[in-house]
Structure formats: structure tokens, C-alpha cells
Amino acid sequence: MTLTQVSSSKVFAGLHQQFTHVSAVNNCTMKFAIYLPPQVQQGQTVPVLYWLSGLTCTDENFMQKAGAFKLAAELGIAIVAPDTSPRGENVPDDTEQSYDLGLGAGFYLNATESPWQTYYNMYDYIVNELPEIIQNNFPVNKQQGISGHSMGGHGALTIGLKNPEKYSSISAFSPICNPTKCPWGIKAFTAYLGDNPTLWLEYDATELIKRNIADSNKLPILISQGDSDNFLAEQLMPDNLIAAAEQNNYPLTYCLEVGYDHSYFFISSFIEQHLRFFNSNLTSK
């Protein structure tokens, strides 16, 4: 795998870098960003937190707005932020160019329907291809966590729940918790996955928790949600996820924060809590 460096900047004694590479699963050139804390310059390997961004975002939104570098440097945590979808001249987009389907809206799934299935395989990209690239090219160890915001929170939850052996913890800001029941999810799943309700359930965190009854496979989850989020009731539906977790004795911590909305102002206010949560749940994996 050949990586092409796009940028490199020193920040809190570590490095923020961007790279592109040709993705085998998405059949296009992908970009990701990585923050390497100063401990790697001392010969240490460090744990890595994967951050999945939301609709319309790229690798840049979290890295530029979240304010995560200072604590990541102190704790010795690498952060990887991929793009939110495949991109390129041949990659299909929504014909109406809406923000919630197509470019910037990959929903972290493997599409099965035309014209999406050739390129939109973000699930395989996040679970397998990108971590292999990171492990082979950067001084990170096997300890991984996954986090995200909105659509990326949906991705973090579903990917973590389906692959508990790969991660130490899951966290999310304002995640889409029950996409098979909300307008964003129904639109995306219909386009990407067709009319197969069984396949839809594979990418719904609420449904995945309902069937997760094995205590050995329960990763700790932290969710932060603002009560002034204008998407809360119609799109995010955290109450459904909370009820499923309670019914299955799932270790989910839900923090409803008064007055906060859906923006990166909210994320930057509580990102340190999420980094400490990841750090406190590191294992010897």
C-alpha cells in the first residue's frame, strides 16, 4: 500500500498529518488524517482512536474543530479520522445532490445496490482496510477504540457492536441510534441496501444491542447528547437505544447535556471526557 502525504503540521509536540491512498474496497483514492502524539518520537507505540465524522464532513472537521490534540498528547493517544465516503470523478452521487445521500454520506455500510455497491463499502474500509494501513505504517499498538458524531456515531456504534474483539470501547456524540426508524436512515438504507429489512438491521445499533446477550461481547459505551439538538427527536432517537441497553443489561453511559446542540461547539466541550473514557478502558489486546 502506497501512502502519499498531503500535509504535516506540528501540534502539541505531536504531528497532524494527512495522507491519500488507493482503496481496494472503495475503488477510489481515499484521504485520512492522523494525529501522532509526541510519545511516538520517543520510540513508543500508542493506542489509536478511530473517529468517524457525520454527514457532509471530511477528515478535516474533527481535526480542526474538536480541540482533541492537547489531551491526546498528554495521554499518548493517536487519532485517525477517515473521510465519510468514497470520492472521485467516477464515484456516484445523489442525483439531487442532497446532503444526506451520496458523497459525504457513506453511512459506514457496504452497499449492495446499483450504482453504489462498487464504491460505497465504508464498513469494510473502516473495519479492515484502514486499520491494516495504520498498523503497517505508523507506530500504533493493537489497542483500538472507535468514536464518532451523528452519522459517524451510528458508524461507531454499529461497527463496535459487530466487532467487539477489535476495540476496547465505543463512544459517540449525538449518534443516529435507530436508523431503520428515522428519515436519514430510511433514505440511505433504501438507496444503498434496497428493500431488504434483514440487511437494514445489521446497521442499526438499537437492533444490534437487542440481540447482544453475551456478557463477554459487551464493550463499554459512552454517549453524549445535547438536549437542544434540533435532530434529537426525529433523527437520533437515543431513547430507543437506551431502552434496548437496559433490557439487555448493556454497559451504556448516556449523558444528556443541557443547552447543547448538534455542532462541534458541543463536541469540543466534551471531547476530553471521551478521550479519558477511551484511555480508561484500554486493555492488553
- The residues annotated with a catalytic role in the active site are 150, 229, 262
Residue type, 66: A
Distance CA 117, CA 225 (A): 32
- Asked whether 140 and 14 are in contact (CB, 8 A), the reply is no
- Go through 120-144 and write b for each residue having 16 or more CB atoms within 10 A of its CB, e for each that does not: bbbbebbbebbbebbeeebebeebb
Q: Which three cell numbers stand for residue 125?
A: 474500509
Distance CA 139, CA 155 (A): 25
Q: How far is CA 244 from the centre of its chain?
A: 21
